[in-house]
């Protein structure tokens, strides 16, 4: 089967063959929520699994994978078993067992956003945030009146791998960012069509409500819950459990929304395109539902968003967080924007991967495809591979040949045979030398004994 692919500019690309092993995958995409993974699946150009995971995985690996291709990249998608840094850490550890050659993990999904940046444009719901570093924000000191975040160098995690860091520096340039945003907008339409236009549609400018940090999601005097008057649950700055599961319309919060935020020209009464923002992102195990805490954290660390899994990935692999804003990390948080935000994050991921290159190259030019196929055929029929004994080193290489490059396997076998032949010849030569030395010594002693015997007989 011949695959003809077009790049984003519309010109013909080189053919991209199906990978032969898990070791050819360099990029992993990790999603904590099903709605996030569903959006990511919509950006795959090709799936390799068919009826199941044809590449297999390590027996100790409990992850669930989807193997495929996005642009020129072989990509493995991982469904996390839950949210939080511990789940993320376990997921990446298992990933390394089955896909040891993965160089970059992309954490794709939804997050809370900081509406106002210190040194950049405002952030709106649906905009996409891309991390250039991760700040662990839930480590600090709990005082009687507040939680003091420990803002030390040890809590700011390392940057992405050098190649990705250089690529993100390029994307930060205004003209390059606008070009990526244009690709994002086109990819977003494709994702929305795949998911269903209505399910992942833009909720509307009037639904992008930002409330003052001090405005709590609680019952008002004119809309009591029936219990608050006796339990005082929504008085003195508190929020009762009933209010937490109520909508802003039910509580009358909408009357206080800052809906007239400054938007780019032409976007106030139309469907805005998601903007791309690059900067530090806060990560921790706590769901942040406080406008005051959000603004204090942003003022102290400069973060542009808050999420829960990124900090768990850094210990095992280089990571970039790509998440779209689904709420403002305050107590008015809802899930209304989740599906659209997930689609925006997936479209940004596709746009970035179309521009990003990994090494070593994963693409075979068409004229080299015949040579590659011939190598595979030769490897499968190589006379030195079909050994069955578990103790035979060549049998082990034969089993490993499906996990490594085929041509490299042939070279390994040939090298081992040459090495074995040299050792065999050296051993024979050494044995001959030892035997020769022994025979020479024995002969010398025999001659000496005969000479002594002759001298004795003459003396008699």
Q: What is the pLDDT of residues 214-239, one digit of tens each?
A: 666 566 654 555 555 544 555 556 66
pLDDT digits (tens, 9 = 90+) for 108-141: 999 999 999 888 899 999 999 999 989 987 776 6
Neighbours of 440 (CB within 10 A): 10
d(CA 123, CA 327): 11
Dihedral sign of CA atoms 19, 24, 29, 33 in order = positive
pLDDT at 207: 85
Same domain, 293 and 240: no
d(CA 332, CA 207): 12
CB burial of 296-333 (b: ≥16 within 10 Å; e: otherwise) equals bbbeebbbbbbbbbbbbbbebbbbbbbbbbbbbbbbbb
Instruction: Check pLDDT > 80 for residue 84.
Output: yes
pLDDT at 314: 78
Question: How many structural domains does the chain have?
Answer: 2
pLDDT at 232: 55
Confidence of residue 209 (pLDDT cuts 50, 70, 90): confident
SS (H, E, C) 95-157: HHHHCCCCCEEEEEEEEEECCCCCCCCCCCCCCEEEEEEEEECCCEEECCCCEEECCCHHHEC
What percentage of the chain carries pLDDT values higher than 90?
Answer: 38
Same domain, 324 and 236: no
Same domain, 191 and 78: yes
Name the domain boundary from 355, 386, 408. Answer: 355
Confidence of residue 90 (pLDDT cuts 50, 70, 90): very high
pLDDT digits (tens, 9 = 90+) for 330-339: 876 888 899 9
Q: What range does the domain containing 274 cover?
A: 22-211+258-355
Structure tokens at 168: 């993100």
Structure tokens at 435: 């035997």
Residues contacting residue 457 through CB under 8 Å, at least 6 positions apart: none
Same domain, 204 and 324: yes
Same domain, 164 and 218: no
Confidence of residue 28 (pLDDT cuts 50, 70, 90): very high
d(CA 321, CA 279): 10
Any domain includes 194: yes
Give 340 or 397, the one with higher predicted confidence. 340
Same domain, 93 and 178: yes
Same domain, 67 and 146: yes
Same domain, 58 and 190: yes
């Amino acid at each position: 089967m011949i695959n003809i692919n077009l790049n984003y500019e519309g010109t013909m690309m080189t053919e991209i063959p199906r990978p032969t092993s898990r070791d050819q995958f360099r990029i992993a995409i990790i999603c904590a929520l099903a709605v996030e993974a569903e959006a990511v699946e919509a950006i795959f150009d090709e799936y390799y699994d068919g009826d199941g995971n044809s590449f297999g995985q390590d027996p100790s690996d409990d992850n669930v994978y989807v193997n495929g291709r996005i642009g020129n990249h072989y990509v493995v998608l991982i469904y996390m078993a839950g949210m939080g840094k511990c789940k993320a850490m376990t997921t990446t550890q298992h990933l390394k067992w089955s896909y040891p050659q993965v160089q970059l993990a992309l954490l794709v999904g939804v997050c809370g956003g900081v509406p106002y940046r210190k040194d950049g444009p405002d952030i709106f719901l649906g905009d996409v945030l891309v991390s250039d570093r991760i700040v662990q924000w839930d480590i600090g000191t709990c005082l009687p009146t507040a939680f003091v975040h420990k803002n030390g160098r040890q809590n700011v995690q390392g940057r992405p791998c050098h190649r990705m860091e250089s690529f993100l520096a390029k994307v930060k340039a205004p003209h390059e960012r606008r070009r990526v945003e244009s690709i994002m907008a086109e990819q977003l339409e494709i994702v929305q069509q795949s998911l269903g236009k209505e399910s992942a549609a833009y909720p509307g400018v009037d639904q992008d409500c930002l409330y003052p940090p001090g405005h709590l999601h609680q019952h008002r005097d004119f809309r009591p819950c029936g219990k608050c008057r006796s339990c005082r649950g929504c008085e003195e700055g508190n929020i009762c459990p009933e209010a937490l599961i109520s909508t802003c319309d039910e509580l009358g919060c909408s009357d206080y929304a800052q809906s007239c935020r400054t938007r780019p020209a032409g976007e106030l009464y139309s469907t805005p395109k998601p903007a791309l923002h690059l900067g530090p992102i806060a990560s921790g195990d706590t769901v942040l539902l406080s406008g005051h805490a959000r603004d204090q954290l942003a003022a102290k660390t400069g973060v542009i968003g808050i999420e829960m899994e990124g900090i768990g990935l850094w210990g095992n692999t280089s990571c970039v967080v790509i998440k779209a804003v689904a709420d403002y990390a305050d107590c008015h948080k809802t899930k209304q924007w989740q599906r659209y935000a997930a689609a925006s994050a997936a479209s940004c991921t596709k746009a970035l991967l179309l521009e990003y290159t990994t090494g070593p190259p994963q693409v075979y030019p068409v004229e080299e495809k015949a040579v590659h196929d011939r190598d595979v055929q030769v490897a499968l029929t190589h006379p030195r591979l079909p050994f069955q004994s578990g103790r035979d080193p060549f049998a082990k290489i034969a089993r490993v040949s499906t996990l490594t490059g085929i041509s490299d396997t042939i070279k390994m076998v040939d090298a081992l045979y040459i090495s074995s032949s040299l050792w065999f010849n050296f051993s024979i030569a050494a044995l001959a030398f030892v035997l020769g030395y022994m025979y020479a010594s024995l002969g010398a002693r025999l001659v000496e004994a005969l000479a002594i015997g002759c001298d004795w007989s003459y003396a008699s």
